[in-house]
Amino acid sequence: MQFGSDNHTGASSQVLEMMVSANTGYTAGYGNDDWTMQAVVALRKVFECDLEAFFVPTGTASNSLALSCMVQPWETIICHEHAHIYLDESTAPEFFTGGARLKAIAKGVGKISADLLNDYYINSAGVDFPHNSRVGALSITQASELGQVYTPEEIKSLSEIAKEHNINFHMDGARFANAVAHLNCTPAELTWKSGVDVLCLGATKCGALCAEAVIFFNKELSENFIHRRKRTGHLISKGRIFGSQFVGWLKNDHWLDLATHANAHAQKLAADLSSVEEIQLAWPVEANEIFVIISKKLFKVLKEAGGEFYEWYDEALPLGRTLKEDQMLIRLVTSFATEDQHRIDFINVINQFYSVQ
């Protein structure tokens, strides 16, 4: 009953085997190795363009370093109320950007919409410079922290506004693989073809052990990345560690197979949960995260039975939705390693609980 997070897993065997292959022989250090080069070539093929890519160990480093190349210290980054960069990266984005401000919008909805972004410009964006902070970038998360997937059309409509206001467009792609698998469109359509300047592509949650790529479609923005990465201690000497993981992850669409597996389990689990009258899904299930309203009693029973998942905060509910006294919100996450038995056991505990009520 492992639904805690998609980083509670190890690596897929294909990724691990590639790491083992990369363990032999001598190659240059600091990202000048054969494996790093191969990974960049593989990314160029997957995204069908001449991108620039750099590898780092964590999503926080990836997002924060990327954003530091996209804004000035006196500028603002617009993001979602539940953005990882806003809630879960301490003050790393502020620190790495030299103090840029994060402004969260889109309360109670799963994604930032063009209307909400326009509203921000009409009602809240400052214009009295240098007294106000100018907007420097827009950041969205694909799939979103509430499990919602941005379509290419939605991304395009956001990028049109970003272009109109001359701001850079960042995408946190910690679950990008799950979004591609859900939409069945190309990685290119979901990024640069829709106006994304920089993608932080996470492999860690979907089959790698520890590998994140900062991908610059807008190559001009990458000019100082190598200095920022080194200065913050994120240039690892044995580049083969990240390179080999990405080579193994991308080979023969392995990354999409892993994400498809995770998404399929999320859909099945959501269907099973929806069939229980007393349980409600808080958000449509699109990728591999499931937000569910359950009773506090059931929560206790599931935990006692060994269920791994997190209680989630009420603010993550859709606008206008409230919890009754005896209810709570939980988050379940499926992964490439989820097995049928995890779901079956979970649903059995639930069915048993209601059969004796």
Ligand X SMILES: Cc1ncc(COP(=O)(O)O)c(C=O)c1O
Binding site residues, ligand X, CB under 6 A: 58-60, 84, 141, 145, 172, 174
Non-local (6+) Cβ contacts of 345 within 8 A are: 1, 305
DSSP state of 236: -
Angle ∠(322,328,329) on CA atoms, nearest 5: 85
Q: How far is the CB of 265 from ligand X (least distance, A)?
A: 18
Q: How far is the CB of 211 from ligand X (least distance, A)?
A: 10
Q: How far is the CB of 246 from ligand X (least distance, A)?
A: 15
Taking the least distance from each CB to ligand X, the nearer of 170 and 261 is 170
DSSP notation for 75-111: EEEEEETT-HHHHSSTTHHHHHTTSPEEEEE-TTSSS
Q: Beta partners for 214?
A: 54, 200
| Nearest-angstrom CA–CA distance, 63 and 212 | 10
Q: How far is the CB of 168 from ligand X (least distance, A)?
A: 18
- Report the SS3 class of residue 305: coil
Residue 292, phi-psi category: left (phi > 0), alpha (psi -120 to 50), beta (remainder): beta
Taking the least distance from each CB to ligand X, the nearer of 196 and 298 is 196
Taking the least distance from each CB to ligand X, the nearer of 234 and 240 is 234
- Report the SS3 class of residue 146: coil
Helix (H) or strand (E) holding 41: helix 34-47
Taking the least distance from each CB to ligand X, the nearer of 87 and 349 is 87
Q: How far is the CB of 7 from ligand X (least distance, A)?
A: 6
Query: Which position's Cβ is nearest ligand X?
Result: 59
Q: How far is the CB of 302 from ligand X (least distance, A)?
A: 22
Taking the least distance from each CB to ligand X, the nearer of 80 and 342 is 80
Taking the least distance from each CB to ligand X, the nearer of 206 and 279 is 206
